A and B are shown apart, each in its own frame.
Chain A
Amino acid sequence: MLSESGTRDAGDRIAITLTINGQRRQLQVAPWTSLLDLLREDLDLTGTKKGCDHGQCGACTVIVDGRRVNACLALAVMKDGASVTTIEGLSTGALHPVQAAFVEHDAFQCGYCTPGQIMSAVALIEEGRARTREEIREYMSGNLCRCGAYTNIVDAVESVLNGSSARREAAE
């Protein structure tokens, strides 16, 4: 028969395990709690932002099992066993190259879409499909920036892409 996943407590909570920013955590979640609300409200990882809560802005972009997704549309309970990287887990100490490039290129203003942009950019670089500015623009189009920092965002992403390809060439 169907498995009622985990054990339920009185509050309809279900036990799940998530690896968040490298740290394995046992959590009790209600089935209707989104990954985004879990991060922001329960785990105080407020770096992941809620801009629309409907997958239409990208502010909540996190990396789940190596893929960038909108945390607002993922039910936390369904991610049992997954590995989640948020902006808080991107760097320890020194800034990640993408974070540093965003500061250098002034690729943000108000900062609210920024963690999502950065997580998306990190995934974009990992995916390895964007080479031209045109491709960066298209593959960053799931992240709205109302302050209009787009040209600087493309500059920042391009600088890291060029830097990493330069490093790869040097290594070869």
Chain B
Amino acid sequence: MNRFAYTRAGSVAEAVQALAGDPAARIIAGGTNLVDLMKYNVERPDRLIDITRLPLAAIEEHEGGLRIGALVPNSTVAYDARVTARYPLLASAILAGASPQLRNAASTGGNLLQRTRCYYFYDEGTPCNKRVPGSGCPAIAGVNRIHAILGTSDHCIATHPSDMCVALAALDATVRVEGPNGPRAIPFAEFHRLPGDEPQRDTTLAHGEIVLSVDLPDRDFSRHYTYLKLRDRLSYAFALVSVAAALEMDGETIRTARLALGGVAHKPWRNAQAERSLEGRTAGPETFRAAADLILAEAKPYAHNGFKIELARRAIVRGLAQAAAGTPQSQTDKRIR
């Protein structure tokens, strides 16, 4: 771990100013990923700006929805009575991830900004375009079992590791940020980006901008939802494939559909065409499979992750079935419903 200066921000404005003025500064809150990366020398900030004492730790009513402050710990969100009643998909996705200890420490904003778990990104002994732009991507011809099948580029095939973000994508959340040019709101789908030829950039956040809150819209999908996560052990592992599904139903007919995938791309993956294909249709395997086919039509396998395409197809079908039936996946009972 490198040497760095440490400062505590007294206000959002101070944090923005400090960050904007120093390209090698980093914001720290929960630290569950940043400290991890610093120990591997992947992140080498020259200044850490501690924002944990800023007043961004509340969950508040906002325009019929909820505003979740950037500093609210993941576990607080997951167990908040308003969240569990109105956005159970979000609570479920959070509880599918990490461990109780990590969920207690990790912040909402930090969860959005956590970086990929690609082996090569973490290993200084190998090249990585995300870590050292232009150095190459050994994952493409290497061990890529956990890597992306959608939206990859010749420069990077990493995935975004968050569970929470998959639910936030499905819920059409908005990320409220503040930077040197003032505040702005970023629709969730535009917050994370695909690797393209700049895989070092995970998000559309400009340097100097900090996340203030995640705002959930007034549409709660509290009856027909699921978060279905598939991984290499039954807990405390990153998703190989995960599905966040949220539906509004008229009897057997799907009125509205939201579907996001985790573990398959550099960002939570949504496909508007697939969602539209579900709407107005009777819930059932045929309908679900057709949507899955639309999503996976452009999937591209690498040497070890081809299974993810079929796994994702089946997970989408099952996830939609769980959501339509109103039988969401339990995160403690490991039987898949």
**Touching chains A and B, CB distance < 8 Å:** yes
- Which residue numbers of A lie inside 8 Å of B, CB to CB? 1-5, 12, 14, 31-32, 34, 53-55, 58, 61, 67-70, 72-75, 77-78, 120, 123-124, 127, 129, 132, 134-135, 137-139, 141-143
26 cross-chain CB contacts under 8 A: A1-B14, A3-B8, A5-B50, A12-B3, A31-B48, A32-B3, A32-B4, A32-B38, A53-B39, A54-B36, A55-B32, A55-B36, A55-B102, A68-B101, A73-B105, A74-B31, A75-B6, A75-B28, A75-B31, A75-B35, A120-B101, A134-B333, A138-B235, A139-B100, A141-B234, A142-B102
Which residue from chain B places its CB closest to the CB of A62 in the assembled complex?
B101
In residues 214-246 of chain B, which contact A (Cβ within 8 Å)?
A: 234-236
Known: A73-B31, A73-B105, A141-B235. A68 touches B100 (CB 8 A): yes
B-chain residues with CB within 8 Å of residue A32 when the two chains form the complex: 1-4, 38
B-chain residues with CB within 8 Å of residue A129 when the two chains form the complex: 79
Instruction: Report yes or no: A141 in contact with B101, Cβ–Cβ below 8 A.
Output: no
B-chain residues with CB within 8 Å of residue A120 when the two chains form the complex: 100-101
Q: In the complex, what distance in Å separates the CA atom of A12 from the CA atom of B1?
A: 15
B-chain residues with CB within 8 Å of residue A127 when the two chains form the complex: 100
Instruction: Report yes or no: A70 in contact with B101, Cβ–Cβ below 8 A.
Output: yes
Which residue from chain A places its CB closest to the CB of B9 in the assembled complex?
A2
A-chain residues with CB within 8 Å of residue B153 when the two chains form the complex: none
- Asked whether any CB of chain A lies closer than 8 Å to the CB of B332, the reply is yes
Known: A70-B105, A142-B236. A2 touches B10 (CB 8 A): yes
B126 → A minimal CB distance (Å): 18
In residues 53-82 of chain B, which contact A (Cβ within 8 Å)?
A: 73, 75, 79
Cβ 8 A contact of B100, one of A73, A123, A132: A123
- Asked whether any CB of chain A lies closer than 8 Å to the CB of B271, the reply is no
- Asked whether any CB of chain A lies closer than 8 Å to the CB of B52, the reply is yes
Known: A2-B7, A12-B3, A32-B1. A78 touches B105 (CB 8 A): no
Which residue from chain A places its CB closest to the CB of B37 in the assembled complex?
A54
A-chain residues with CB within 8 Å of residue B327 when the two chains form the complex: none
Additional 9 contacts, C-beta under 8 A, given A58-B101, A120-B100: A2-B8, A2-B49, A3-B8, A31-B6, A70-B105, A73-B32, A73-B36, A138-B331, A142-B100
B-chain residues with CB within 8 Å of residue A134 when the two chains form the complex: 332-334
Q: In the complex, what distance in Å separates the CA atom of A129 from the CA atom of B100?
A: 11
- Which residue numbers of B lie inside 8 Å of A, CB to CB? 1-10, 14, 18, 28, 30-32, 35-36, 38-39, 48-50, 52, 73, 75, 79, 98-102, 104-105, 234-236, 331-334
Cβ 8 A contact of B18, one of A2, A14, A61, A74: A2
A172 → B minimal CB distance (Å): 24
Instruction: Report yes or no: A5 in contact with B8, Cβ–Cβ below 8 A.
Output: yes
B121 → A minimal CB distance (Å): 14
A-chain residues with CB within 8 Å of residue B1 when the two chains form the complex: 32
Known: A73-B36, A75-B28, A78-B28. A142 touches B7 (CB 8 A): no
B-chain residues with CB within 8 Å of residue A69 when the two chains form the complex: 101, 104-105
6 smallest CB-CB distances across A and B, nearest first, come from A142-B99, A31-B6, A141-B235, A67-B104, A138-B332, A69-B105
Which residue from chain A places its CB closest to the CB of B52 in the assembled complex?
A78
Q: In the complex, what distance in Å separates the CA atom of A73 from the CA atom of B30?
A: 8
Which residue from chain B places its CB closest to the CB of A124 in the assembled complex?
B100
B115 → A minimal CB distance (Å): 13
